[in-house]
Amino acid sequence: MTTQPETTARLLITCPDRPGIVSAVTTFLYHHGVNITELDQHSSDPSGGKFFLRLEFQTPTLDVSISALRQAFGDVVAKPFGMQWHITQASERPRMAVLVSKHDHALMELLWRWQRGELQVDIPMVISNHADLRAAVESFGVRFEHVPVTAETHAEAEAKMLALLKDQTDFIVLARYMRVLTGDFVSHYPSRIVNIHHSFLPAFAGADPYLQAYKHGVKIIGATAHYVTAELDQGPIIEQDTARVSHRHSIGDLKRLGRDLERQVLARAVRWHVEDRVIVDGNKTVIFAQ
Amino acid sequence: MTTQPETTARLLITCPDRPGIVSAVTTFLYHHGVNITELDQHSSDPSGGKFFLRLEFQTPTLDVSISALRQAFGDVVAKPFGMQWHITQASERPRMAVLVSKHDHALMELLWRWQRGELQVDIPMVISNHADLRAAVESFGVRFEHVPVTAETHAEAEAKMLALLKDQTDFIVLARYMRVLTGDFVSHYPSRIVNIHHSFLPAFAGADPYLQAYKHGVKIIGATAHYVTAELDQGPIIEQDTARVSHRHSIGDLKRLGRDLERQVLARAVRWHVEDRVIVDGNKTVIFAQ
Amino acid sequence: MTTQPETTARLLITCPDRPGIVSAVTTFLYHHGVNITELDQHSSDPSGGKFFLRLEFQTPTLDVSISALRQAFGDVVAKPFGMQWHITQASERPRMAVLVSKHDHALMELLWRWQRGELQVDIPMVISNHADLRAAVESFGVRFEHVPVTAETHAEAEAKMLALLKDQTDFIVLARYMRVLTGDFVSHYPSRIVNIHHSFLPAFAGADPYLQAYKHGVKIIGATAHYVTAELDQGPIIEQDTARVSHRHSIGDLKRLGRDLERQVLARAVRWHVEDRVIVDGNKTVIFAQ
Amino acid sequence: MTTQPETTARLLITCPDRPGIVSAVTTFLYHHGVNITELDQHSSDPSGGKFFLRLEFQTPTLDVSISALRQAFGDVVAKPFGMQWHITQASERPRMAVLVSKHDHALMELLWRWQRGELQVDIPMVISNHADLRAAVESFGVRFEHVPVTAETHAEAEAKMLALLKDQTDFIVLARYMRVLTGDFVSHYPSRIVNIHHSFLPAFAGADPYLQAYKHGVKIIGATAHYVTAELDQGPIIEQDTARVSHRHSIGDLKRLGRDLERQVLARAVRWHVEDRVIVDGNKTVIFAQ
């Protein structure tokens, strides 16, 4: 089934589970002329758990404006059920800033997909603590900002980045950004910073995961995309994938194979974030992926 | 989320897509005190396509009997929307007959899962065109019927099997049954015969797929579970899986690796069939799997 | 390529790497009429590293007895190169004892493959700290020993098991044996106890890995077969595999999916151990698998 | 284990299998001071089959020049055993020409890996039957040649391409080149044209494989890299991979997911070809991959 981004909207809901939610939501939308094209739901526990819902619907037959629909939905449905919710239009492209250090593969994968039209975002800027990737980024017509960081200038650098990002960005991707962000920085973008970690978390958190994996003699390596929280490498996992390795693979081979994993896993996670397919539930995620 | 089979019921619907279906269905159920615990839907095309819905719900809070609910749903919802539909209770274990020849691995996998309580079926009988597996089957406390087949006695043998199965079986699994069933036999169990084919269909349909795969030099082998139709190895695919192979693998190795694939793929397909997670849509399937 | 177990022998070598090893080994064997049918080698580092070699050869054209070949090889080749080595004949089936608690799936998978002739071992006994699986084991014609263990009787129970196993077993499989073995017990079978752990190690070592995985919200679960050392869940990894999961999967679902992984991973690891395809290299393994 | 391209050489051998080959080869190399760092072999059948060998060795300790080694090896070892063989140096980068039409993903993946130094080739030119990708190719500093093709000008276009490629290229990659090459063209580059086909061959050979897959309702899609022969989509398979799909995926989704498969599969196949890890054996391949 193919639908047009121009006419597609999405409703995401989190609320305490109780009977009647789907009925109330779908009946409300039906009476406003909405045509639902995707509906996915999840209950963490039908007795006293949380309920999650994602709807995709088409707007051409809507009998009111989107903003009027939002107003009415809030009053009529969301309030009585105690919902956290939002309605987005697929045509409103979120603004994605990318933070990167020297490794370019994860960044290039995103830029390349964006250039081809696979990733429905605007990219206001790429920020790096190194200048190396300026030319590569600018060749895509994307702004590049170099914000050096040292142990001494960490606070200052974060302040500078926050100033650059302010009002310019809806979410941030850490495409192998090798500096740890402070809890203060993270608090500006809760559940809106996606990181790619080059291991199968929770195994090999922290530095040099490929070296750790090599020394441990694992037969499978992995990559993990997750939301960043104040606790390093512990945020809610969005996506993971793995690849087989053997005693024949050097650390260099693990890094090479891992790059391919990182590119694929990050691209999927970003796509799902952009399409409103991820709902954070405490330290876990609900993923309404295709 | 864990739910009890005793109190779980399922509603499956296929109908022409049009706005308002989910609203009508969920509102009806809500008004009868039903607590929906799973809901999955699919539209082949929102404009003029088919709509598919699977609901799992809990019956304890139901305000009427299941049969009254069926009656009311048929009149109030199903009829106006032109639905094909059925409501089943998880506690009603379907009766699964198994047809097998000499290879025992697919059969054993099913019997073993059934014995452990992983497969919510009754097994009225296993029928084989060979006597070899009698002891193995009977050790599970399952009835074994030997119905020999030759080219000359094919019609007679099918008649005998149909007589054995009549009123005793809800669906049939071909667990490496090596005789081709006639269209007549198949017509008694439309979309109710699950076959495991030892290749990645449509590649290597017909006889000796591992030999075909070996000669072709493929780097990946597969197995396919599908519903049987009158056309050999062409019925709607339920599930497939693959495994990597190399030039080091002999035909014997392909068969050995393939057995593991066949066991896993068939077990998943049967589980989904039993849990009403498969809807046939022409020559394809909609799978509402977890 | 298919070869006969009766006439197949294997040579495994570990030694300091230096030029000329393969030449010396293969020339020696050639002069004794040996036909090499598989040769696999690995060097951890050509300068100052370790060298590993596995050869499969056919004995019918051998000009001396196997024991004379062993004697000569030791003197002429192994000694000058400082090799650890052994030659085994595929026809000498190693004796595999299995330790199990209450979960039967890993044990059943091994017994089932053994019964079909897929696993070239003898099984002198299955030992369990519970009596539950006696009938299931004995139905395969295999001896079952019940050795209860409590915190107080742990030493005594291990002594009893060691006495039962003594002179009866070449290696041990822990098929979900839920008691931790002491370093003393393990020291009797160095690199000869294969355990299946129900997680993707090193993630979720210790107790209740599926619960840990569930709470952590991972998108992939795993199973790991490894040799047991004195340090819990830290021994050299033989094989791992993974399966995708989602927010829809309960802990019960993880356990169910995990059982299938555990069965497959353990079966592969045991097969490789039995076919002399595993060489331990410190806390890692070299796997000369097909 | 990491080795330097500057000092790494490779020996590939195909010959009738018989005892003594490995001994003869390794002893010859040992006596010339060669340090073997990888050795992989395969016998299609020890009695009367074909034998395949790939050796990687380090040249610094060689007692003669590479050309003298080639001369001596030919006389002393290759001739008596009837070997087809060649010795290459990893530092001699093969020249890879790429043919492409309008889809850029497979081409971009190769150019991107080449730019990063992951692919040890020179790229003399990219040829396309469309002009669309000129700017993208030239931005990598690579020559772009536009050779339009119509049904009428097919012979002429192939002649023009052969003229462009002559003496400039060691092998050719068809990175989604959508015109069928004639047997005559192919005969100039036997086992030296690598094609990426967007299906799991032999399923869905020919045109529009994703449409075929969609209509067939398969649950897994694939991609296949193979050498081109005169017979369309039938040449020896080098590598394949697969990805799960479901009823939720439109044809557009299959194409999107398939692009990722095609990129990965082609990149692996080209890498193996470049590193002399592929030996063609009739309509199959022996892959000495890591």
Chain A, nearest residue to B42 by Cα: A38
How confident is residue D6, by pLDDT bands cut at 50, 70 and 90? Answer: confident
Percentage of residues of chain D with pLDDT beyond 70: 99
Compute φ and ψ for B41, nearest 5 degrees. Answer: -140, 160
Q: Tens digit of pLDDT for each residue in D216-225?
A: 999 999 999 9
Q: Which residues of D touch C37 (CB under 8 A)?
A: 43, 46
Instruction: Indicate if ipTM > 0.90.
Output: yes
Q: Given D122, D233, D253, D260, which residue is catalytic? A: D233
What's the confidence (pLDDT) of residue A61? 85
Name the minimum distance, in Å, from the CA of B290 to any CA of chain A.
11
Express each pLDDT in B70-117 by its tens digit: 999 999 999 999 999 999 999 999 999 999 999 999 999 999 999 999
State the 10-residue block means of pLDDT for chain C, 290 residues long: 75 96 96 92 88 94 92 97 96 96 97 94 98 96 97 95 98 96 96 97 93 96 97 95 96 96 98 97 93
Considering CB atoms only, which of A105, A249, A290 is closest to D290? A249
Segment A174-232, tens digit of pLDDT: 999 999 999 999 999 999 999 999 999 999 998 899 999 999 999 999 999 999 999 98
- pLDDT tier at A1, thresholds 50, 70, 90: very low
Per the CB < 8 Å rule, is A112 touching D108? yes
Q: How far apart are CA C165 and CA D254, in angstroms?
A: 55
Catalytic site residue from A170, A233, A253, A276: A233
Q: How many Å is the Cα radius of gyration of chain B?
A: 21
Mutate to test the interface with B, among C39, C107, C112, C211 (most CBs of B within 10 A): C112
CA pair distance A121, A273, nearest whole angstrom:
11
User: Each residue of B138-181: pLDDT tens digit?
Assistant: 999 999 999 999 999 999 999 999 999 999 999 999 999 999 99
**Residue A170 catalytic?**
no
Q: Compute the distance between CA of residue B182 and CA of residue B229 in angstroms, rounded to an integer.
A: 9
- Please name the helix (run of DSSP H) or strand (run of DSSP E) that holds residue A80, with its range, or none: helix A79-81
Class of domain A5-89: alpha beta
Which residues in chain C have Cβ-Cβ distances shorter than 8 Å to A248? Answer: 42
- Residue range(s) of every CATH 3.30.70.260 domain in chain B: 5-89
The span from the CA of A266 to the CA of A279, in Å, is 17
Q: How far apart are CA C256 and CA D7, in angstroms?
A: 51
Query: Nearest C-alpha of chain C: how many angstroms from D58?
Result: 10
Question: Minimal Cα distance from B236: which residue of D?
Answer: D217
What is residue B199's predicted lDDT score, i.e. its pLDDT?
A: 95
CB neighbours of residue B16 within 10 Å: 12
3-state secondary structure of A40: strand
pLDDT of residue D46: 74
**Nearest of D203, D219, D207 to residue D254 by alpha carbon:** D219
Model pLDDT, residue C272: 98
Element (H, E) at A275: none
SS3 state at D189: coil
Tell if the CB–CB gap between A23 and B45 is shorter than 8 Å. no
Distance CA D275, CA D75 (A): 25
Inter-chain touch D34–C20, beta carbons under 8 Å: no
Q: Compute the distance between CA of residue A129 and CA of residue A177 in angstroms, rounded to an integer.
A: 8
User: Are B15 and B41 a contacting pair, CB within 8 Å?
Assistant: no
pLDDT confidence of residue B195: 98
Give the homologous superfamily in CATH for domain C96-287.
Formyl transferase, N-terminal domain (3.40.50.170)
Distance from CA of A71 to the nearest CA of C (A): 31
Q: Chain D partners of A139 at a C-beta cutoff of 8 Å? A: 139
Percent of chain D with pLDDT over 90: 90
Nearest CA in chain A to B28: A23
In this structure, the number of other CB atoms found within 10 A of the CB of residue D46 comes to 20
The mean pLDDT value of chain A amounts to 95
Closest chain A residue to B31 measured between Cα atoms? Answer: A20
pLDDT at C3: 60
At residue A77, does pLDDT exceed 90? yes
Catalytic sites of C, residue numbers: 233
Examine the pLDDT at A2 and tell me if it is beyond 70. Answer: no
Contact A30 B37 (CB under 8 A): no
Residue of C nearest to D27 (CA): C23
Helix axis angle, A21-31 to B21-31, nearest 10°: 140
The more confident residue out of B28 and B62 is B28
Residue type, C70: R
**Are D219 and B287 a contacting pair at CB < 8 A?**
yes
What residues of D are in the B interface, CB distance below 8 Å?
42, 200-204, 216-220, 222, 236-242, 246-248, 281, 283-287
Q: Of the candidates C1, C20, C22, which has its C-beta nearest D46's C-beta?
A: C1
Can you give the pLDDT at residue B6?
82
**Could you read off the pLDDT of B2-45 as tens digits, one per residue?**
467 788 999 999 999 999 999 999 999 999 998 899 999 999 88
Largest CA distance in chain A: 63
Of B1, B30, B33, the CB nearest to A23: B30
The per-residue pLDDT for range A105-163, each reduced to its tens digit, is 999 999 999 999 999 999 999 999 999 999 999 999 999 999 999 999 999 999 999 99
- Do C147 and C127 form a contact (C-beta atoms < 8 A)? yes
* Residue in chain D nearest C26 by alpha carbon: D23
Portions of chain C given CATH number 3.40.50.170: 96-287
DSSP for chain B reads ----GGGEEEEEEEEE--TTHHHHHHHHHHHTT-EEEEEEEEES-TTT-EEEEEEEEE-TT-SS-HHHHHHHHIIIIIHHHT-EEEEEETTSPPBEEEEE-S--HHHHHHHHHHHHT-S--B---EEESSSTTHHHHHTTT--EEE----STTHHHHHHHHHHHHTTT-SEEEESS--SPPPHHHHHTSTT-EEEEESS-TTTT-SS-HHHHHHHHT-SEEEEEEEE--SSTT-SPEEEEEEEE--TT--HHHHHHHHHHHHHHHHHHHHHHHHTT-EEEETTEEEE---
Distances (CA, A) of A72 to A36, B22, B60: 18, 20, 34
Distance from CA of D23 to the nearest CA of C (A): 5
Structure tokens that stand for B281 in this block:
């849509």
**Chain A residues near any Cβ of chain B (below 8 Å):** 1, 3, 19-20, 22-23, 26-27, 29-30, 33-37, 39-41, 43-46, 49, 58, 61
Q: What's the pLDDT at A3? A: 60
Rounded to whole angstroms, the Cα distance separating C160 from C164 reads: 6
Residue C95 identity = R
Is residue D230 predicted with pLDDT exceeding 80?
A: yes
Q: Which long-range contacts (CB under 8 A, 24 or more apart) does C175-178 make?
A: C175/C98, C175/C99, C175/C100, C175/C106, C175/C107, C175/C110, C175/C266, C176/C100, C176/C101, C176/C103, C176/C105, C176/C106, C176/C107, C176/C262, C177/C99, C177/C100, C177/C101, C177/C128, C177/C129, C178/C101, C178/C102, C178/C103, C178/C129
Contact across the interface for C219 and A287, Cβ inside 8 Å: yes
As a whole number of angstroms, the distance between CA D97 and CA D169 comes to: 6
Q: Nearest CB to D248: which of A105, A118, A290?
A: A290
pLDDT in tens, D114-150: 999 999 999 999 999 999 999 999 999 999 999 999 9
Collapsing DSSP to helix, strand or coil, A286 comes out as strand
Average pLDDT estimate for D189-215: 95
C-alpha to C-alpha distance for A106 and A266, rounded to whole angstroms: 7
| Closest CB from A23, A30, A45 relative to B19 | A30
Alpha-carbon distance of A289 to C246, in angstroms, equals: 10
Query: Which residue in D22, D50, D219 has the most chain C C-beta atoms within 10 A of its own C-beta, making it the best mutation to test that interface?
Result: D22
Taking CB atoms within 8 Å and a gap of at least 24, the contacts of A161-168 are: A161/A99, A161/A127, A161/A185, A162/A188, A164/A125, A164/A127, A165/A97, A165/A125, A165/A127, A168/A95, A168/A97, A168/A124, A168/A125
Mean pLDDT of B56-60: 90
- Determine, for residues C286 and A218 on separate chains, whether the beta-carbon distance falls below 8 Å: no
Out of B2, B112, B290, whose CB is closest to C248? B290
Handedness of CA D61, D64, D67, D71 (dihedral sign): negative
* C220: nearest CA partner in chain A: A240
> CB-CB: which of C218, C284, C286 is closest to A237?
C218
CB–CB contact B116 C139 (8 Å): no
Both tokens of residue A3?
């639908």
> Which chains neighbour B (Cβ–Cβ under 8 Å, 3 or more pairs)?
A, C, D
| C interface with D, Cβ–Cβ below 8 Å | 1, 3, 19-20, 22-23, 26-27, 29-30, 33-37, 39-41, 43-46, 49, 58, 61
Q: Do B202 and D217 touch (CB under 8 A)?
A: no
Task: Give the ranges where D139-287 is alpha helix by DSSP (H).
Answer: 154-165, 183-187, 209-216, 251-274
Assigned token pair, A120:
């429905």
**Residues of B at the A interface (Cβ-Cβ below 8 Å)?**
1, 3, 19-20, 22-23, 26-27, 29-30, 33-37, 39-41, 43-46, 49, 58, 61
Give all chains having 3 or more CB-to-CB distances under 8 Å with chain A. B, C, D
The per-residue pLDDT for A48 is 85
Of B40, B233, B241, B253, the catalytic one is: B233
Q: How far apart are the first and last CA of chain D?
A: 12
Q: What is the mean pLDDT of chain D?
A: 95
Tell me the mean pLDDT in the region A72-80: 97
Contact A225, A185 (CB under 8 A): no
| Residue C1 pLDDT | 43
Per-residue CA distances from A78 to A13, A55, B31, B51, D202 (Å):
9, 14, 20, 27, 53
Q: What is the pLDDT of residues B95-105, one digit of tens each?
A: 999 999 999 99
Asked if the Cβ–Cβ distance from B281 to D201 is below 8 Å, we say no
Q: Which residues pair with D58 in a beta bridge?
A: D8, D35
Predicted local confidence at residue B3, as pLDDT: 60
Q: What would the two tokens of residue C4 be?
A: 């006969």
Q: Please give the C-alpha separations between residue A239 and each of B231, C57, C223, in angstroms, as whole numbers.
A: 40, 46, 19
Q: Tokens for D174, please give them.
A: 């068809």
Give the residue among A101, A65, A87, A84 at the shortest CA–CA distance from A21. Answer: A84
